[in-house]
Structures are given as structure tokens and as C-alpha cells.
């Protein structure tokens, strides 16, 4: 199946959706142009999406393929794709990631938006490791998911042994504070909510710890540490007072 060339010229960029023919529920949301929306039907990689399509094919069924919007620019399609994935929920789809702009313009409650832009700057007094989890964070994470996103897996040197606390940081806001009890080589600890194979390698470490006592936690939770993070710095790690 494919679009003829005269239709492709009119479609420009678009956002498409695969749905289950039995339930009519969304399976996958993507964006592209040309015949991108059909390419998954011939995909032979290993993923939840491909496995679901294989299951449908083996039962003699085909996914429903719809264009949610077309005639878009590349940037418009990228924004819409991220918005639709956030609306449906990544856990309800076979998508691996939420979309390029979901971390900057993602789905947040109005209280989270207010907290993000009105958060009070805080002076960090303890020996702390700021850990930016912008790529892993999502709203309504469980305590264990947040802990696993924060504790590893990082490229850190011997300076890690000077650190007492780890701050889980999203967009410059402290989401949790952990007391670091011990550092381990990457892959030592078990992860229930993350696939860490792509992060394995030399000089990568993970910490074992627990949420700090309320006197320390309340001092920093929900506060801004943006003043310690250089604008444009992509390094997820920042030492404070070490």
C-alpha cells in the first residue's frame, strides 16, 4: 500500500495513527511525509509495535491507519505528534518515546506549570550531585520509577565519593532528594522500569540510596537549582560543593 505521487505532493508532513481493528484503540502515533505511514507494515525489527502488527497479521487482520492532520510543516507535525502521544499516554501505545517536544511543551497540570516557572531559587549547602533526568522524567511517575531514573547510569569519576546527596532534577526543579549510601558499577542493581543495556559501558556508575529525612527534603523539594546549571550544558551531572 502506498500513496501515488500526486497525493504525496498535497499531503506534505502529517501525523498518523495505527489503531487496533478489534477495539479501535490507538496502537502507535507517528509523523512523517511521503509513504512513511506504511513503512511499519514491513518493519522486521524487534519492538512492541512490530510484534503487535505481526500478531494482527497472523490473525488475518490489518491495523487501521489514519492521518490525524496533514498539510503541515515538519515542525508543526513534530509538535502535534508529541501532543497526541501525551494525550493518549505513552503507556497505552507501542511508541518507545514520547516525542521530541514532549519534555519542553509536554502534558503538565496547571499546578506543575506554576511550580516550574515560579519555583524559588535555593542555595545548596550540602555536598550534592545534581542529576538531570529531563529525558526520563514524566508526570505521575511512581517513587520507584523516579528512583531508578535518578540512581543510574552515569559517567562519574572518583569525585562521586565526596557526594552525600543526589538531587533528581527536571527542568531545573528538584523532584526528589536521595541520601547516597553506596556507589556500584553500572549493571549491579536491578531495574524494574528501565532497559539499561544501551547505557552500559566503562566508567558508568549507579548509586544505592534512599529518600532523605524530611528536614533535608523539605528544604530542597520543588525548589529551583537553575542557577547551578549552565545554559545549554548537555551534561546531566553537576557537582555542588565538591
DSSP per position, the chain: ----HHHHHHHBEEEEEEE-TTT--EEEEEEESTTGGGGGGG--S-SHHHHHHHHHHHTT---EEEEEEEEE-HHHHHHHHHHHHHHH-GGGSS-SS--TTTTTS----HHHHHHHHHPPB----S-EEEEE-TTT--TT--HHHHHHHHH--EE--GGGGG--EEEEEETTEEEEEEEEEEEEETTSS--SS---GGG--TTEEEEEEEEPPHHHHHHHTT-B-GGGS-TT---SEEEE--
- Judge whether residue 242 has pLDDT over 90: no
- Judge whether residue 204 has pLDDT over 70: yes
- Same-domain status, 117 and 88: no
pLDDT class for 152, splitting at 50, 70, 90?
confident
- The answer as to whether 99 is a domain residue is no
The lowest-confidence range among 41-50, 63-72, 171-180, 195-204 is: 195-204
Residue predicted with more confidence, 113 or 215: 215
Domain CATH code at residue 19: 3.40.1440.10
- Same-domain status, 10 and 122: no
Quick: pLDDT tens for 99-146: 444 444 556 677 777 777 788 999 999 999 999 998 788 777 889 999
CA distance linking residue 174 with residue 129, whole number of Å: 12
- Same-domain status, 123 and 194: yes
- The answer as to whether 130 is a domain residue is yes
Q: What percent of the chain has pLDDT over 70?
A: 91
CB 14 within 8 Å of CB 32: yes
- The answer as to whether 221 is a domain residue is yes
Per the prediction, the chain carries an average pLDDT of 87
The lowest-confidence range among 90-104, 162-176, 204-218 is: 90-104
CA distance linking residue 214 with residue 202, whole number of Å: 35
Give pLDDT, residue 239: 96
Q: What is the mean pLDDT of residues 150-166?
A: 94
Burial 181-211 (b: 16+ CB within 10 A, else e): eebeebbebebeeeebeeeeeeebbbbebeb
CA distance linking residue 66 with residue 17, whole number of Å: 5
- The answer as to whether 97 is a domain residue is no
- Same-domain status, 158 and 217: yes
- Same-domain status, 75 and 122: no
Domain that holds residue 51: 5-92
- Same-domain status, 62 and 143: no
- The answer as to whether 216 is a domain residue is yes
- Same-domain status, 123 and 230: yes
Quick: pLDDT tens for 53-101: 999 999 999 999 999 999 999 999 988 998 898 888 877 887 765 444 4
pLDDT class for 212, splitting at 50, 70, 90?
very high
- The answer as to whether 104 is a domain residue is no
- The answer as to whether 143 is a domain residue is yes
pTM more than 0.85: no
Give pLDDT, residue 200: 61
- Same-domain status, 85 and 138: no
- Same-domain status, 122 and 234: yes
Roughly how many angstroms between the first and final C-alpha of the chain, as a whole number? 60
- Same-domain status, 123 and 198: yes
CB 234 within 8 Å of CB 155: no
- Same-domain status, 159 and 64: no
CA distance linking residue 119 with residue 174, whole number of Å: 10
Q: What percent of the chain has pLDDT over 90?
A: 60
Give pLDDT, residue 49: 87
CB 185 within 8 Å of CB 205: yes
- The answer as to whether 107 is a domain residue is no
The number of folded domains in the chain is 2
- Same-domain status, 127 and 73: no
Amino acid at each position: 500500500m502506498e500513496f501515488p505521487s500526486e497525493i504525496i505532493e498535497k499531503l506534505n508532513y502529517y501525523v498518523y495513527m495505527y489503531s487496533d481493528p478489534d477495539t479501535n484503540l490507538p496502537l502507535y502515533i507517528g509523523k512523517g511525509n511521503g509513504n512513511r505511514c506504511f513503512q511499519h507494515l514491513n518493519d522486521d525489527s524487534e519492538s512492541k509495535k512490530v510484534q503487535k502488527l505481526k500478531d494482527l497479521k497472523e490473525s488475518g487482520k490489518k491495523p487501521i491507519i489514519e492521518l490525524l492532520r496533514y498539510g503541515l510543516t515538519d515542525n508543526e507535525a513534530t509538535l502535534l505528534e508529541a501532543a497526541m502521544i501525551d494525550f493518549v499516554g505513552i503507556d497505552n501505545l507501542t511508541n518507545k518515546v514520547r516525542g521530541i517536544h514532549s519534555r519542553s511543551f509536554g502534558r503538565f497540570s496547571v499546578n506543575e506549570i506554576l511550580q516550574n516557572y515560579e519555583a524559588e531559587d535555593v542555595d545548596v549547602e550540602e555536598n550534592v550531585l545534581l542529576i538531570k533526568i529531563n529525558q526520563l522524567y514524566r508526570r505521575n511517575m511512581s517513587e520507584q520509577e523516579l528512583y531508578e531514573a535518578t540512581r543510574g547510569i552515569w559517567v562519574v569519576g572518583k569525585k562521586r565519593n565526596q557526594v552525600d546527596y543526589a538531587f533528581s532534577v527536571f527542568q531545573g526543579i528538584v523532584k526528589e532528594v536521595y541520601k547516597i549510601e553506596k556507589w556500584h558499577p553500572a549493571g549491579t542493581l536491578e531495574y524494574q522500569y528501565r532497559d539499561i543495556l544501551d547505557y552500559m559501558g566503562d566508567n558508568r556508575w549507579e548509586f544505592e540510596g534512599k529518600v532523605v529525612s524530611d528536614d533535608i527534603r523539605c528544604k530542597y523539594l520543588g525548589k529551583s537549582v537553575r542557577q547551578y546549571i549552565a545554559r545549554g550544558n548537555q551534561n546531566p551531572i553537576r557537582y555542588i560543593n565538591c
